[in-house]
Structure 1
């Protein structure tokens, strides 16, 4: 019971934070369109309007993130990941409305935007912990959960994470490494199925594998994977890049062997 309550507390906080972030992002996009339209009609006042709009967006961004601090979100994500891994919380988590959608949104949280280094590192940690939660759900999920992950665009968001990995030196390498490993393990499970003592078993799921590869291709992940296959500075990245490429190229091999 205590474990279920902890999951519920964490998921409520994560979903609430993501909803606030998404709504704020949509509002800013709408304001940007309105701003551009007004600017076209009033070029003379463009500079002043831009400065005011930029300041307002910065204030809104700070207000949005202060609703629930990045450190608190990271803590809740870490707690959720632990519940999934060590307390068999995967089935419970997947039944919570909007949670997968929220986690997928947070995997790309503020990606490509930069403020102070401290805030950038906190955002990287939010993305990292969100990715760990999704990875834990995938690793400990049954066939139904694999299907739901594909439906929600798990392959697509992993591709975006890989192609826009942000950070500084080790942080960037870690994001690339984890992205490649997640893609490789996910596709391997869909291709070959599962039958071991520590994960739910399921038969090969070739249709889900094909759809996931389509998501990768749509986001240009193939080019990024091929680039990392020639990585001269990090051997582990190169290994997982080659493995991910093998999984993509061998999309139909497992099905032929059945």
Structure 2
């Protein structure tokens, strides 16, 4: 019971932090928000890491997934202060916020059932995946590992939605409508063009090119089976 309450409190803190961040963007009150966020970044980072560990625990995963506004908040934090630099310490904390938000979402996808996969897509999971590897115009984190991970996530997510999944802890039938919605989000972010560009990326001993090829194939398989 105590653990469930701690999870709920942690999620509430993350949602509240994200709401404040989102509102500050809308109102363009950057100076006011900057001071507030710098003080709480370390705390938010530790809470995100804690949440990630709870999602790893299959007994807690369902509770975490069903917390109102949490998925929306995690997806918003994947791009937290992306491309905005202040100082080395703050930039590192912002990077950790983005990192743990992504890994929370990846774990949620890993353990999610059909209903939760649908909610992930509804909240813009396809857009999030696109941003994690996109380097066009300076958008996204340009490190080779991030590009490689992002491309791998796209092909893995699309294939599981397309083929269905049969894991001991969670399974679902093929979800072609979710494939279509995810692919539309990828297109809207211009990620298909970026996947093409990554086919020429020789980084990580050719592994980026390999994941780009697989991501492209996953999208092409979608079209082959639906036309």
Moved more, 101-110 or 179-188: 179-188
Q: TM-score, normalised by structure 2?
A: 0.91
- Say whether residues 1:65 and 2:37 are aligned partners: yes
Contact 2:133 2:141 (C-alpha < 8 Å) held by counterparts: no
- Work out the CA distance in 2 between the residues paired with 1:82 and 1:253: 38
Aligned-partner Cα distance in 2 for 1:165–1:124: 11
Structure 2 CA distance for partners of 1:21 and 1:88, relative to 1, 3 Å: same
Q: Residue 119 of structure 1 aligns with which residue?
A: 90
TM-score (norm 1): 0.80
Q: Which runs of 4+ in 1 moved over 6 A?
A: none
Residue segments in structure 1 that go unaligned for 5+ positions in a row:
32-56
Q: Aligned equivalents of 2:92 and 2:140: distance in 1?
A: 13
**2:166 matched to 1:195?**
yes
Q: Which runs of 5+ in 2 are unaligned?
A: none
1:166 corresponds to which residue? 141
The more displaced of 242-251 and 176-185 is 176-185
Q: Which residue of 2 aligns with 1:228?
A: 198
**Offset from partner CA, 1:119-160 (integer Å, 9 cap, x none):** 222211111110101111111000000101111111012212
| Structure 2 CA distance for aligned equivalents of residues 236 and 78 of structure 1 | 28
Alpha-carbon distance in structure 2 between the residues aligned to 1:23 and 1:184: 33
Match of 1:88? Answer: 59
TM superposition shift of 1:113: 1.1
SS in structure 2 opposite 1:182? helix
The Cα of 1:233 is off from its aligned counterpart by 2.1
CA distance in 1, matches of 2:48, 2:152: 20
Is 2:212 aligned against 1:212? no
Q: Is the 8 A contact 1:94 1:145 kept in 2?
A: yes
Answer whether contact 1:107 1:157 (CA < 8 A) is retained: yes
- The CA deviation at 1:255 is 6.5
Listed as ranges, the matches of 1:152-163 within 5 Å are 152-163=123-134
What's 1:14 paired with?
14
Larger-gyration structure (1/2): 1
Which residue of 155, 173, 179 maps to 1:184? Answer: 155
Tell me if 1:141 matches 2:116: no
Q: How many residues are treated as equivalent by the alignment?
A: 222
